[in-house]
Every structure is written in C-alpha cells, then in structure tokens.
Amino acid sequence: AAGEVLTPLLKYISTVHSTWITHEAMMLHGGNGILGDFSCLPRLHNDAIINETWEGTHQIIGEHTLKAYARPRIRAAFLELVEQNLRGATDRSELSQPLAFAQEKLNLLRDLRGTGGVYGEVNRSALCDGLYDLFVVSEWIAESVAGNEMATLFARGHAEIVRRGRSGITDPEGIFNDVDILRRIVDY
C-alpha cells in the first residue's frame, strides 16, 4: 500500500532532480557543457525536461502523491514503513542527526491532517519534498542499522543538505567539511 504514495512521489522527485542535475552539470562544464558537439549534457537535459512533461507535470504528479497520502490506509502503510526503517537506530550515536531529522519530518507529516484545498495547492512541492526526504533518510538509516557503513554517511549527508539547502553554507561539523569522508563517498 505504501507503493501508492511512493510510485508518484518517486516519479516527481526523479524528474525534478534530473533536470536540476543536468543543468548543474552543464554549468560546471561552462561553454562546452551547452554545446552538443562537445558534450552529451544538452541532450540529457532536454530529455530530462521532456520526461517531466511526459510523466506528468510536477503539479499533477504531486497531486497524485498527496491524494494517495490523504487516504488513511495508504498513509498508515507509508508511515509504518518509515517507522520500521527507523527501528534500531536510537542507540547508534552516529545516526543521531539523521534520526532527529527523520523524527522531526515524521512528526510533521504524521500530524498533517489535510493535503487538499488551498493548503495542498500552496504547499504541494514542499509536502512532496518532505515525504521524499523522510523516506530516503529512513531507508539510509535502515541500511546503516543492517551494517552498511556508507549508508550512515549518506543519511547524514542527505539530512544535512535538506537542513541547510542545496546551496546553503555547510555545517562546520558536518560531513561536507571532512575531506576524508568526502573521499570515501567519492571512492564508493
């Protein structure tokens, strides 16, 4: 039943992220990034934009996500999946930051009573982003509890990025200021 939220949610997120990632990649390469003679990035970016429309606009996919989440049985299944992913993490100090992040999102989204009307219209993207961030961090936490050491870093990194924003100032104590951790992530 959680899949009824996750399917449209992941379609929404994959289209949003693919456009942003290909745009950033083009900017990193400068002039060569926008010339099809030198790079495949313009084609990938164009395909990403087409995919956004083909799969359904962000507004439509977001609406499907929130309508599914508003259904009590589906919402309960999604929240149970997240809570199951978080079990076993409370006694792991290395997961304290992502766990606190997940608990905060979980409390916010658990208490959310309505996803329709003006509230749903105005907050559609933020609500979908919140559902995604909660789900992803919970999955990384579950992987970490199962013994995947890199998942701990990914959970910490995702929570840090969401807290500060993609272009925000890094946390002085966060993973993005630790060269050894960044090398491990890149080498992974």
Digit-coded pLDDT (tens) for 127-177? 999 999 999 999 999 999 999 999 999 999 999 999 998 888 988 989 999
Q: Is the pLDDT of residue 117 over 80?
A: no
Q: State what percent of residues in the chain have pLDDT above 70.
A: 98
pLDDT at 73: 95
Burial track 112-151 (b if 16+ CB lie within 10 A, e otherwise) = beebeeeebeebbeebbbbbbbbbbbbbbbbbbbeeeeeb
Distant-in-sequence, close-in-space partners of 142: CB < 8 Å, separation ≥ 6: 84, 85, 86
Tell me if 106 sits within 8 A of 79, measured CB to CB.
yes
pLDDT at 114: 64
Q: Is the pLDDT of residue 111 over 80?
A: no
Region 61-87: mean pLDDT is: 94
Region 89-118: mean pLDDT is: 87
pLDDT at 113: 62
pLDDT (tens digit per residue) in 81-102: 999 999 989 889 999 999 999 9
pLDDT at 32: 83
pLDDT at 115: 66
